[in-house]
Amino acid sequence: MKPIVLLLSVAAIALVAAGLTDAAYAQEESTGGMSDGSKLIGAGIAFGVAAGGAGVGLGQVGAAGLAVISENPALQSKVFIFVGMVESIAIYGIVMMFIILGQ
């Protein structure tokens, strides 16, 4: 099964399950804010997509970086800078997750 199909399937199941649990209880009047369930789903998506993208990017940059280092070891510090830039994407995802959960 392709990873995108698996991701979409899990997301659809989570959304259906969240909708079914909300329908079983009486609800108070809505003030227009986000519910706790939608905050958790949004935070999970923000972190999951950022971490997945960083993982794919790190694989590409890491492979190219190892090739560069094997040809010219003097460029090792520049390769580490590029690897750090790719890893910062996952850190941005964590920050966004905490911002969403903190609202």
Nearest to 65 by CA among 46, 49, 50, 84: 84
Beta-carbon count within 10 A of 24 CB: 6
For residue 103, name the pLDDT band (cuts at 50, 70, 90).
confident
Domains and CATH numbers, the chain: 35-103 (1.20.20.10)
| CA trace torsion 37, 40, 46, 51 (10° rounding) | -140
Residue 11's identity, in one-letter code, is A
- pTM listed for this prediction: 0.60
In contact, 62 and 55? CB cutoff 8 Å: no
> Is the per-residue pLDDT at 69 higher than 90?
yes
- The predicted pLDDT at position 80 comes to 93
More confident site: 5 or 94: 94
Residue 29, helix vs strand vs coil: coil
- The predicted pLDDT at position 36 comes to 79
Beta-carbon count within 10 A of 50 CB: 20
Percent of the chain with pLDDT over 90: 57
DSSP 74: G
16-63 pLDDT per residue, tens: 556 655 555 556 665 656 677 888 998 999 999 999 999 999 999 999
> Is the per-residue pLDDT at 1 higher than 60?
no
> Is the per-residue pLDDT at 7 higher than 80?
no
